[in-house]
Chain A
Amino acid sequence: MFDETNSLPAAPGVGYKAQHFAAIMGEPDPVQWLEIHAENYMGDGGRPIAQLRHLAERFPISVHGVGLSIGGEGPLDTDHLARLKHLCDWLNPASFSEHLAWSTHDSHFFNDLLPLPYTDATLSRVCDHIDQVQEVLGRRMLLENPSSYLAFADSTMTETDFLHAVTRRTGCGMLLDVNNVFVSATNLSYSPQSYIDAYPLDAVGEIHLGGHDEDHDDHGAPLLIDSHGREVIDPVWELLDYTLARSGPRPTLVEWDTDVPDWPVLAAEARRANIALSRLSVPA
């Protein structure tokens, strides 16, 4: 149904930040691909789009949407979907992904990834929206699992059952954020490894890693916040190893969106991802 020949390499990538442009064009090693947030490239021109054109000549690009509100109760914003299509049409990215979340309600956009109850009603709404996205863009999309800070009393299925059903019904792929798994598992007291065991690993087209902050809830229980503002912690690297051992090598991205460090710090994180990926190719 869709052209799958253009795809991300099973190698390290990073979330692109404009301050790293010169460093990436000069010494990208070991980074082999880049991810951009779609909404940052929806101006009419200027430096952001000029830089993106240069980057796209050298690297496979993953377009990561943060504003489509796929889990929203209302219809998808067709103007926004058209803007995504315009971006994907001229850029021809190796991947397009969005989130299992909502962010728009009554035409107000909240600039955050808000949570969903896992019910049949949510499932059919999310699947309808993914069908619509894939039809308009003419490409398969990847859906990212959220970082959860709370649960819904109304949920009737687990997140992994929900994601299995989504990929089965829509044919979409999965963007597995292992930091989000670690954050959600800690916050909602389940095992991150058993989440990975239950996850639709066959559908994974990309893996995300990122840093998080620590807080506590009203009862003193740990409450991790997905901040993308620091290094990936060791238990998340271990969860990556656990995942890759089951999924095989996948395109693996380090996200660092706030308090963005100088390039060598981010490149070091990508090197760590490269080591995790390289280990897989060594026969046991």
Chain B
Amino acid sequence: MTDQTAFHAALLDAAAPIPTGLTDGAGRPAGRRYGVYRNNVAVSLRDALETAYPAIAKLIGTENFHNIAGMYLRSAPPDTPIMLQYGAGFPQFLESLAPLAHLPYLGDVARIERAMRLSYHAADSTPADATILQNLSQEVLMSARLTLAPSVRILRSPFPAFDIWAYNMRPGARKPRPLAQDTLILRAEFDPVPHLLGPGAYAFVQAINAQQPLGAALQAAGEDIDLGAILGLLLSSHAITQIHI
């Protein structure tokens, strides 16, 4: 076993014996001095998760969050030095924990937070000229294809994930309704904003994102979609970067 294998094996396992060959500089065993590294690693990764998932921390409380983050960081330490990417598996991890089974929506609320983070760091883009759409005939409009900005994210949940996220993160937000909810995250400039989607809009945006023409996307959306509302939202949030006619 190499030095670093021994050193790292005990870093995330408080029950493991302290590696040999470490001293206090005066020949005595390092003892709790090794614990400084254990603590630094665990606290820094825990803090990274708390920064990434503030709504989850509010929902379950700081102490519970710290305990769960401690379990997660031991089961899934980062595989990249880019800490803004850490925690990809955290939503699924929350869903896998039996003690959290009574809060089945946590994973989807965490997915909203993860998607907002990825949106925040996504590539910049220039919005398309919306007036192009206004001047098209119905037939040409329905055959147009749209390219969405790299910062756009869309999520579907069988739970009121949007309401629960908003209730915890936006002062004065309404109490969550017992509904399945779809969430669209848009970033007009730098700040990602989650929007609750109306009926059909999830299928519509998915179809657009799959490069289907507007007509096909509309068909996929069904009769209940408010086309003006979703197109208006996409355009006003600078989410459409190209219009292919």
Q: Chain A interface (Cβ within 8 Å of chain B)?
A: 39-40, 42-50, 66-69, 72-73, 77, 80, 83, 102-112, 114-115, 117, 149-154, 187-190, 215, 217-219, 221, 223, 225
Contact = CB atoms under 8 A, between A and B. Distances in A.
Given A40-B84, A46-B190, A111-B45, A150 B78 contact: no
A276 to B, nearest CB: 29
A111 B48 contact: yes
Contact of A114 (B7, B187, B191): B7
A28 to B, nearest CB: 22
B33 A111 contact: no
A218 B31 contact: yes
B132 interface: no
B4 A102 contact: yes
Interface in B86-109: none
A105 B33 contact: no
Interface string B27-46: 01011111011001100110
Given A47-B190, A106-B8, 9 more contacts: A39-B82, A42-B84, A44-B123, A47-B191, A110-B11, A110-B41, A110-B78, A149-B34, A187-B25
In the complex, the 3 A-B pairs of residues with the closest C-beta atoms, listed nearest first? A67-B81, A43-B121, A188-B25
Contact of B190 (A40, A50, A218): A50
Contact of A112 (B23, B32, B41): B41
B121 A45 contact: yes
A223 B32 CA distance: 10
A268 B31 CA distance: 38
B26 A189 contact: yes
Contacts, number: 143
Interface of B: 2-5, 7-8, 11, 21-26, 28, 30-34, 36-37, 40-41, 44-45, 48, 77-84, 120-124, 150-151, 187, 190-191
Contacts of A152: 3, 21-23
B85 to A, nearest CB: 8
B22 A153 contact: yes
A227 B49 CA distance: 19
B81 A150 contact: no
Nearest to B5: A105
B120 A47 contact: yes
B31 A217 contact: yes
Contacts of A107: 79
Contacts of B45: 110-111
Nearest to A216: B32
B170 to A, nearest CB: 20
A124 B193 CA distance: 50
A53 to B, nearest CB: 11
Contacts of B81: 39, 66-69, 77, 80, 103-104, 109, 111
A106 B84 CA distance: 20
A112 B82 contact: no
A73 B3 contact: yes
A117 B40 CA distance: 19
A198 to B, nearest CB: 16
In the complex, which of the residues A46, A107, A112 has the most CB atoms of chain B within 10 Å of its own CB atom?
Answer: A46
A219 B151 CA distance: 54
B190 A112 contact: no
B237 to A, nearest CB: 15
Contacts of B123: 44-45
B123 to A, nearest CB: 4
Contacts of B187: 46
A83 B82 CA distance: 10
Contact of B84 (A43, A66, A108, A149): A43
Contacts of A153: 21-23
A189 B124 contact: no
Contacts of B22: 150-153
A115 to B, nearest CB: 8
B21 to A, nearest CB: 5
Contacts of A215: 36
Contacts of B190: 46-47, 50
24 contacts: A40-B83, A43-B120, A44-B121, A44-B150, A45-B122, A45-B124, A45-B150, A48-B121, A50-B124, A66-B81, A68-B81, A103-B81, A105-B8, A106-B5, A108-B78, A109-B80, A109-B81, A110-B78, A112-B37, A114-B4, A150-B33, A152-B21, A217-B24, A223-B32
